[in-house]
Structure 1
């Protein structure tokens, strides 16, 4: 029997299904990773009862978690297509005013606490592109470390 997991609750991703009218009794494992759904039903009768079916469901779930954790495709180390700056939380913003004037900024965003968001912008016109970018990177670094 595998060692118990330290951070996984015993019935994580496992639900009890009892439908007497359909004669269905067992445990359902359901998980989704990176948009792919995984699931399997463990009926009581073939496994020798509810406790044995639950044990089989836990073993299958744990093996699936291990398999998904070991897949190279679960780790993304490439830059997101939505991030052109290469720095998380730093983006180039273009604003067009009502009179048609265009303003460009480098913006830094971060979350100092759950439910809070902070944002600071640095004008490319005032600082130049490189310096405005660098100021945004520094502002975000200070914001997330305070």
Structure 2
């Protein structure tokens, strides 16, 4: 897919447990440079896409910081927020959580910068013209 002259590319994927309220379900995440895809856990060698979220709409927080807990689940969890929803994402290991934290933070920040620049340029035709030359 080509968006704003930038190609979408795959970054990382892996299993995760999503918690909303008291319910916890196994899912699979796919991170691209501009979107996060949440699917069901693999079944018959296929994934069913549940959600596709633009990274420019995401916020994240460390679950251990918010819950003030130091149990094994809190240390392996991240909370992702986007308009109207939020989930606790629990990874298999703390190392996996740290990798996801690194990649999510990096690509969320890049997506927000790109989104802010796009909004600025849409509102300023003169700026858009100067950027092209």
What TM-score, normalized by structure 2, do the two folds share?
0.30
Q: TM-score, normalised by structure 1?
A: 0.27
Larger Rg: 1
- Name which structure has the greater RCO, CA cutoff 8 Å, separation 6+: 2
